[in-house]
Structure 1
């Protein structure tokens, strides 16, 4: 979290001269903390983080009084954490204001803490926006506290969104992917290159809107699609640490009152509620085949109310729309500058088309081992989330020689974990072949034994994501249908030299780990042997 960016951003939004107030308050706070809080708590030997008989969890020295490591994380927390893990080890203790966060880059340690000790590490923090406002103090599956209500909601999701239900959605994904292909081709021909984001969003979000709410949105100008994407991006920002500053720095609680932030958050939730309420009413009234009509019919079975349906639906659509989109955006950016990988995956798809007379679907995935390896490597190389949602510890735990006090937050350092050289050879290289022979679906691998896992994007233990199967299917179908028809090439400058996408440049969208805006060329392939009626 970049605390400096937070102060500047919301200071500008407030349109008030608060700079001096911030500096004065910060100075007073630091003096008070140094002279009072630190002395009283630690001078008497009461520091739980140095308990006798336990290994000390390393804490990077780049730390400030009161705000702790928040400022030190900079504009790219994932990159900073990666460096800290390399220097200090696979488990780190960061002071996030008054909160204590444990960051883990080793999958075995993460599994021990969040799976084996899942009964006491599966809670969520009392985030002012995410829990109290967005999740209405106890609805949904993403930010809700661990307990019976959360279990009922998750059961409703898993019982309805089964693999057969997902497989029935495949035709929808193929249709919207082909629609996106048409747009990408047209804009490339007319303008020379295209930013694919809007059209990939149309494909991935349409998949979730159709599966969850039964609504078709086949145009990037569809108001429902635009509303839901806007809702998702606001959620990602507000639900990040920047949206809950008083929980980290309670002495800055006055700051929120000096800005429009709190009012904006309330207005945002009201808009979210209206958009989803209207879509739910429409689906139920028309008895549309989708998740929401099934869940509505079984509300009493799962102890759900109308608020629960709104929050769960928005959790599913936002998570299932944004993450596949982000992964596909990384894929196209990477393929535009790795021509040998691009050539090999296209050749594999072409061979299938030649033998079968059609573009492969998800059920054909085992016939495309290199394609599957590429998509796994793409997810490893550039995961879609900075860290995932933190797990709150509800009781003191002792694990692997460490003592972790109650109320600590455990976070998977997702980027550092996928760049861990003890898990992957040459982790900073984009090498699809590392996953050749790994034929399990993402769901089977994510839910499997820790020594058989090589992807960690979907989380841990009882809080593991319920949708890896649909995510893989969406990414596979969209990627294969685009690669069956196009070469993805970089743009060129005035001298004809390629302008490659910077794979080390990240867009700060809160929870997501996305590339910055870019353009590439989607050039139709003449050697793909596609039958005329296959797309």
Structure 2
């Protein structure tokens, strides 16, 4: 028998308090009855598969009617999912409300599902920022949906963010990276140490605004646009993903309360960004989307959703990957020394600073970045996908309509693919000279931080280039050293403290010292 007071108490922790709560018990009772009827009907009329011949996908205990396992996931669901994987194996079925979510933590299975079976597992869910701006159950995510309209929009993004396209922005990328490194050194001198994450995020927003949206970007950390994005980005991504399995409750809650959707607060500044992009003298994403408006009936909410997703997803992923890289390097002065030596050799040979096109001449950096992204990937999970048809993988039946999620952290630490996965060893990638973009598109079984093959993140090349610029400029001038605590002890970043920010994971609060090298080649 369901314990409704307990469920209500749990629900209060998820939904903000308001006049809606007193009616929730009655609504829950009605919903439970409806859910029971739906389950019976669905089980009675399910497909023609003989399920007895398939292996059973294990399900964790503790699922309750209507809510499923949602109440057990806590503030960071990835931690609970990881526990269940350890107990039950590499594939799990988790009940998210009345939906089945299949979590995969095996690199081989993920490769089969998202690469070999990508035509059956490529439908994306509608819970990213497009859903929150657009409103309603059928709000579209900007990237990845499988109909013609969204394929063409994705093509615009892929074309605009491709390696050949963003080469025109190399000077801008270098300039923004230089500003960021100068600030990190300056703040270290002024305060003894610096939290690099804010400056990395600022850098990320500016390169997206300048390279993709045709405008100058934010002027400082106090710029209204930057502050708005920082106050809203993690909120609205979590807002939509948490509420989706019981979206009808959220609609009732908003009806009976005065709560304002975080995305409503972001819509106005996004409109200002869009209008500036239209007035810009340079080609940009908004202008490209405007060309598709009549053919695909794209409205301003769609364009705001795509712009918001580009800004926020880009900022989160890029800043997370860069922050983890700097935090990891702080723990490995020997790796810093090897990397600095490689960069210095290039500068002495060519009388200039390296650009991303020079990556083949910096093989140690290439292996280092891949190992950083494997060791601490910027996301816990890949973008959830829906199975468009029944899928059989290693004799597990994944029914049509199931949501499939790759557990990126678990896959990156799969003992069957990576030897000693808990050790940081850049040399493990020494024979892989590909860029991240090439490796992801070719379906590397050891590297999923930016997605799978045809479903890779559209901004992967831009992210790879800007991480390159920041890390190489830092290492050509500085050593990255731990902050010094009040007791005089070195205070290293805690690499086991990951914090969820929207769809990404960043290191817990940490500070570093960027100390200029006395033997630097560039003064």
Shorter-chain TM-score range: 0.7 to 0.9
Q: Cα distance 1:245–1:97, how it changes in 2: closer, same or farther (>3 A)?
A: closer
Give the aligned partner of residue 14 of structure 1: 17
Give the aligned partner of residue 307 of structure 2: 313
Q: Does 1:517 align with 2:509?
A: yes
Whether contact under 8 Å (1:359, 1:484) holds in the other structure is no
Distance in 1 between residues matched to 2:229 and 2:178, nearest whole Å: 22
SS, match of residue 121 in structure 1: coil
1:305 deviates by: 4.6
1:299 deviates by: 4.8
Q: Cα distance 1:181–1:308, how it changes in 2: closer, same or farther (>3 A)?
A: same
Q: Does 1:465 align with 2:462?
A: no
Distance in 2 between residues matched to 1:38 and 1:125, nearest whole Å: 22
Consecutive unaligned residues in structure 2, runs of 5 or more: 1-6
Q: Cα distance 1:341–1:98, how it changes in 2: closer, same or farther (>3 A)?
A: same
Q: Cα distance 1:154–1:69, how it changes in 2: closer, same or farther (>3 A)?
A: same
Give the aligned partner of residue 480 of structure 1: 472
1:181 deviates by: 1.7
Give the aligned partner of residue 406 of structure 1: 400
Whether contact under 8 Å (2:20, 2:257) holds in the other structure is no
Give the aligned partner of residue 239 of structure 2: 238
Whether contact under 8 Å (1:487, 1:524) holds in the other structure is yes
1:490 deviates by: 1.0
Distance in 1 between residues matched to 2:129 and 2:368, nearest whole Å: 37
SS, match of residue 123 in structure 2: coil
1:406 deviates by: 2.0
Distance in 2 between residues matched to 1:277 and 1:310, nearest whole Å: 7
**Range that drifts further, 87-96 or 415-424:** 87-96
Q: Does 1:201 align with 2:198?
A: no
1:73 deviates by: 2.9
Q: Does 1:491 align with 2:491?
A: no
- 2:270 aligned to 269, 272, 276, which one? 276
Q: Does 1:527 align with 2:519?
A: yes
Distance in 2 between residues matched to 1:507 and 1:454, nearest whole Å: 23
**Range that drifts further, 225-234 or 189-198:** 225-234
Matches within 5 A, 1:187-336: 187-217=187-217, 218-240=219-241, 242-247=242-247, 254-255=252-253, 257=255, 259-261=257-259, 263-265=260-262, 268-269=263-264, 271-297=265-291, 299=293, 304-336=298-330
Distance in 1 between residues matched to 2:354 and 2:334, nearest whole Å: 21
Consecutive unaligned residues in structure 1, runs of 5 or more: none
Distance in 1 between residues matched to 2:495 and 2:55, nearest whole Å: 37
Whether contact under 8 Å (2:124, 2:385) holds in the other structure is yes
Q: Cα distance 1:175–1:396, how it changes in 2: closer, same or farther (>3 A)?
A: same
1:62 deviates by: 4.8
Q: Does 1:151 align with 2:151?
A: yes
SS, match of residue 94 in structure 1: strand
Q: Cα distance 1:500–1:159, how it changes in 2: closer, same or farther (>3 A)?
A: closer
Query: How high is the TM-score relative to the length of structure 2?
Result: 0.87
Q: Cα distance 1:234–1:336, how it changes in 2: closer, same or farther (>3 A)?
A: same
Q: Cα distance 1:335–1:214, how it changes in 2: closer, same or farther (>3 A)?
A: same
1:30 deviates by: 11
Q: Cα distance 1:226–1:50, how it changes in 2: closer, same or farther (>3 A)?
A: farther
Give the aligned partner of residue 172 of structure 2: 172
Distance in 2 between residues matched to 1:100 and 1:291, nearest whole Å: 35
Give the aligned partner of residue 141 of structure 1: 142
SS, match of residue 508 in structure 1: strand
Superposed CA RMSD: 3.3
Give the aligned partner of residue 360 of structure 2: 366
Distance in 2 between residues matched to 1:212 and 1:461, nearest whole Å: 23
Q: Cα distance 1:372–1:325, how it changes in 2: closer, same or farther (>3 A)?
A: same
Distance in 2 between residues matched to 1:50 and 1:63, nearest whole Å: 25
**How many residues were matched structurally?**
515
